[in-house]
Chain A
Amino acid sequence: GAGVSQSPRYKVAKRGQDVALRCDPISGHVSLFWYQQALGQGPEFLTYFQNEAQLDKSGLPSDRFFAERPEGSVSTLKIQRTQQEDSAVYLCASSLALAGATISYEQYFGPGTRLTVT
Chain B
Amino acid sequence: KNEVEQSPQNLTAQEGEFITINCSYSVGISALHWLQQHPGGGIVSLFMLSSGKKKHGRLIATINIQEKHSSLHITASHPRDSAVYICAVWQAAGNKLTFGGGTRVLVKP
Q: Which of B25-60 contact A (CB under 8 A)?
A: 30-31, 33, 35, 41-45, 48
A110 to chain B, nearest CB (A): 6
Residues of A contacting B31 in the complex (Cβ-Cβ under 8 angstroms): 105
Q: In the complex, how many angstroms separate the beta carbon of B104 from the nearest chain A beta carbon?
A: 8
A107 near B41: Cβ-Cβ < 8 Å: no
Q: Decide if B61 is an interface residue (CB 8 Å cutoff).
A: no
Q: Is the CB of B45 within 8 A of A107?
A: yes
Q: Whose C-beta in chain A lies nearest to the C-beta of B103?
A: A42
B96 x A56 contact (CB < 8 A): yes
Q: Are B48 and A42 in contact (CB under 8 A)?
A: no
Given A35-B97, A43-B88, A45-B98; 8 other pairs, CB 8 A cutoff:
A42-B99, A42-B100, A43-B86, A44-B99, A48-B95, A91-B43, A107-B97, A110-B42
Report B's interface with A, CB cutoff 8 A: 4, 30-31, 33, 35, 41-45, 48, 86, 88, 90, 95-102
Which residues of A does B touch, CB under 8 Å? 4, 33, 35, 41-45, 48, 55-56, 59, 91, 93, 103, 105-112
